[in-house]
Amino acid sequence: MRRGERGTRWWRAVGMDEQLHERIRDAVASVPPGTVATYGDVAALAGASTPRLVGRVLAEDGHDLPWHRVLRANGTPAPHLATEQLARLRAEGVLADGQRIDLRRFRWRPQ
């Protein structure tokens, strides 16, 4: 099965094409180790209409991406991923204050 093939139906339902899907994947892949981005940051970089599309792509086709570097707008991971996500970030030097990452300190700012 080609990458993205299984998710084609939901893409159409939300107005996503394969190019947008790949732009989202590329944006997530470009977040450097030791930094984080929000779903909104990735959506803006990829030209997606909503950060929810980023979450959808990561859920459906993000296993090979640094998904752990993408957080909610308040600097927290999704609750069902928090333990693994925070451990992966800690291994890269991104330290949490409780369950929250300080976006002022660790947020990636693409040039």
- CATH code for the domain of 101: 1.10.10.10
Number of domains observed in the structure of the chain: 1
SS3 99: coil
What residue numbers bound the domain in which 71 lies?
5-106
Crossing angle for the helix pair 18-29 and 39-46, to the nearest 10 degrees:
130
pLDDT by residue for the chain (111 residues), tens digit each? 344 444 455 555 556 788 999 999 999 999 999 999 999 999 999 999 999 999 999 999 999 999 999 999 999 998 999 999 999 999 999 999 999 999 999 999 987
Residue 31 lies in a domain: yes
Q: What is the pTM of this model?
A: 0.86
In a domain? residue 85: yes
Rounded-to-integer distance, Cα 16 and Cα 59, Å: 15
Sequence-ordered list of residues with C-beta below 8 angstroms from that of 104, at least 6 positions apart, any chain: none
